[in-house]
Amino acid sequence: MVAEAIDAAEQEFEWCLKVLAPLGGYAANSDFAEAVPRFQLRLLDAITALEQVYRRVKQEEKRVISRKPDLDQRWFRQRMVKLAFYTKALAHVLAIGRSIGDGFAWFFYESHRELIEEHRKHQRQPLLPPRIGALGERLTLQNMLVIDGKLMLYHGITTFLRIGDFTLIDLKTFEVAAIGELKSSRPDDEHVQTEVSLVSVNPKLLPRIQATKPAEKMPARMSITPAMADRLKRQKKVMFEALEAAAKDREKAAPAKLSEFHFGALEDIVRRCDTRKFEWVKAGPGFVIGAVRIGPSHKRQLSTTLLNNAGANAAELAVDAPDWAMKIVCDDRRLNSMMIGTLFGEEGDMIAPRGSFPVSLWPLSPEVLADLLLQRVMVITLLNPAHLWIALEAKGYELVTDREGRVTGAKMIEGDLLTELSSLEHYTRMIASFMMTEASILALIEQLMASARGKFDGRPMKVELDMKIKRFPDLRKTRNLNR
C-alpha cells in the first residue's frame, strides 16, 4: 500500500516538474500552455492520495497502541518501528509534493515578498482538511480555477501560503486581488455546499462573478453556527491585516540585488554522474559539489530509495572526498573548517529559507530537478567558510568567535558607529544548501549592513532585516499568461 502510493505520487510529481521548468527559466515545450491549468488539480490529487495512506498508517498506529497489553511486546515494538518508518517516508514524499507546489505558487507571488513574510508568521498546516473540507476545496478549485481573469492559487499544496485557503492573482498584473476562505458542508448525499469569503485591500481587483440561475433542487443555504461565524470573523481580520501590512512594507522596501548561484555546476555534475563513484566539481573558492547516481536514470525508484534504504551505501562511494576537501583549504589556516552536507536528504531541506525561493524553481532541466528531488541522485556538498570570513575581513569587518574558535558574527567600526552582524550560519547555509555563490553572499551582507546603518537613529538598536534574494529582474510589467 505505501510503496504503491509513493510510486503513483512519483509519476505525478515528475509530470509537475516538467510543467514547472519554464517558470524557473528553462525552455517551455509545446504542451506547456495546456498543462498549466491542470497543474494544481493533478498535484492536489497526488497529495490527497498520499495523505489518505498517511492517515491510515497513523490510524493503524493508534489501533496497535490500544491493543498493546494483549500483544507480544517484541512484535509490538517491531510493528511500531515499521509504522514510524512508513510515516516518515510518506511525510518525506508529501514534502516533495508541497515543495513542487511552492514553486508554482511562488511564480505568481514573487513580486509580493512582504505578503509572503506575513504568511510565514503563521503556523503551517501539515495536512489537508479531512473529508468534506478537502472535497469542498477541491471542487471549488476545479470550478473557480480562473474567474474574471483571476487565477485561484490553492494554499493546501504549498508550505508558505498559510493565511486563508486560497489567493486570487490577477493574471494581467500579477497583483494579489484577494485572499479567500472556504467553508464546506454536505446537506445531502447529492450536494456539497461551499461558501467563499474574499478579503481585499483593493476592491477594484475583485472578480466580477456573473449570477447564474440556481438548480431546481438547490438545498437551503449553508447554516453557519455562531462559533463558525466568530471563527470566520477572526480569519477575515487576519487576512485583511496581512494584506494591509504587506502593502505598507512594499512601499518602503529597498530593491534587492540580483544574486548568482552554482546551478550551472550542479546541472553539469548531476548529468554526468553514474552509479560507480562520485563525480566532483570545485564550484567556488571554498565550495565543492559531489554527486553519485543511486540507480538507473530511466527507472522510477523513490519507493525503493525510501523504503529499502537504497541510497544508504552511496556515501561509501565518496572515497576521494578528502582529496577534494584539500582543494578548498585556505593558506590562512586559523579559520579553516569543513561543513559537509547533502541536498534534500531530509524533509525540511526542501523548504526554502526566509528570503530565498523554492527549490522546484531552481533553473535546472526537469530531468535534473527530478533526479534531485526524487532521490535518484545523491549530492554531497563540502564548504570551507574560511574563504567567506577572509573576504569579510578584507572589507573591514572584525570576526567574532566563540570559545572553540568558531566564527559566529562580524562587526565593523566606522567612527563612533559600531555595526554587528549575527547569525552567520544562515549565510553559509545559503551556499551549502541553496547553491548561492560566495560573491553574492558578500554583496548581500553589504546590502543588509548598509540598510541597517541607514536605520540608525543615534541610539543602540537591534535591526532585523529581511533578506530578499532575486533570481530575475522584476517581471511584473512583462508577465502575462493571457498573451
Within this chain, do residues 298 and 357 fall inside the same structural domain, yes or no? yes
Q: Is residue 471 one of the residues assigned to a domain?
A: no
Which of residues 109, 128, 145 is at a domain's end?
109
Which of residues 88, 109, 130 is at a domain's end?
109
Q: Is residue 217 one of the residues assigned to a domain?
A: no
Q: Is residue 336 one of the residues assigned to a domain?
A: yes
Q: Is residue 175 one of the residues assigned to a domain?
A: yes
Say which residues have a Cβ less than 8 Å from residue 342's Cβ, sequence separation at least 6: 349, 378, 379, 380, 381
Q: Which residues pair with 292 in a beta bridge?
A: 378
Within this chain, do residues 275 and 419 fall inside the same structural domain, yes or no? yes
SS3 for the chain is CHHHHHHHHHHHHHHHHHHHHHHHCCCCCCCHHHHHHHHHHHHHHHHHHHHHHHHHHHHHHHHHHHCHHHCCHHHHHHHHHHHHHHHHHHHHHHHHHHHHHHHHHHHHHCCCHHHHHHHHCCCCCCCCCCCHHHHHHHHHHHHCCEECCEEEEEHHHCCCCCCCCEEEEECCCCCEEEEEEEEEECCCCCCCEEEEEEECCCHHHCCCCCCCCCCCCCCCCCCCCHHHHHHHHHHHHHHHHHHHHHHHHHHHCCCCCECCECHHHHHHHHHHCCCCCCEEEEEECCEEEEEEECCCCCCCCHHHHHHCCCCCCHHHHCCCHHHHHHCCCCCCHHHCCCEEEECCCCHHHHCCCCCCCCHHHCCCCHHHHHHHHCCCEEEEEEECCHHHHHHHHHCCCEEEECCCCCEEEEEEEECCEEEEECCHHHHHHHHHCCCECHHHHHHHHHHHHHHHHHCCCCCCCCCCCCCCCECCCCCCCCCCCCC
Global pTM reads 0.89
Q: Is residue 275 one of the residues assigned to a domain?
A: yes
Is the separation of the CB atoms in 361 and 106 below 8 Å? Answer: yes
Within this chain, do residues 419 and 283 fall inside the same structural domain, yes or no? yes
pLDDT at 483: 34
Within this chain, do residues 160 and 296 fall inside the same structural domain, yes or no? no
Q: How many Å apart are CA 231 and CA 145, to the nearest integer?
A: 26
Counting the structural domains of the chain, the total is 3
Residue written as grid cell 564548504: 383
Within this chain, do residues 322 and 450 fall inside the same structural domain, yes or no? yes
Q: Is residue 474 one of the residues assigned to a domain?
A: no
pLDDT at 472: 60
pLDDT at 417: 76
Q: Is residue 121 one of the residues assigned to a domain?
A: yes
* Distance set, CA 5 to CA 43, 50, 376, 478 (Å): 14, 6, 18, 40
Within this chain, do residues 146 and 161 fall inside the same structural domain, yes or no? yes
Within this chain, do residues 243 and 278 fall inside the same structural domain, yes or no? no
Within this chain, do residues 441 and 331 fall inside the same structural domain, yes or no? yes
Is the separation of the CB atoms in 206 and 178 below 8 Å? Answer: yes
pLDDT at 228: 82
Domain span including residue 33: 1-109
Q: How many Å apart are CA 444 and CA 431, to the nearest integer?
A: 12
Q: How many Å apart are CA 334 and CA 97, to the nearest integer?
A: 43
Look up residue 48 and give its three cell numbers: 490527497
Q: Is residue 472 one of the residues assigned to a domain?
A: no
List the chain residues with pLDDT less than 50. Answer: 474-483
Within this chain, do residues 311 and 233 fall inside the same structural domain, yes or no? no
Within this chain, do residues 230 and 375 fall inside the same structural domain, yes or no? no
Within this chain, do residues 137 and 72 fall inside the same structural domain, yes or no? no
Within this chain, do residues 281 and 355 fall inside the same structural domain, yes or no? yes
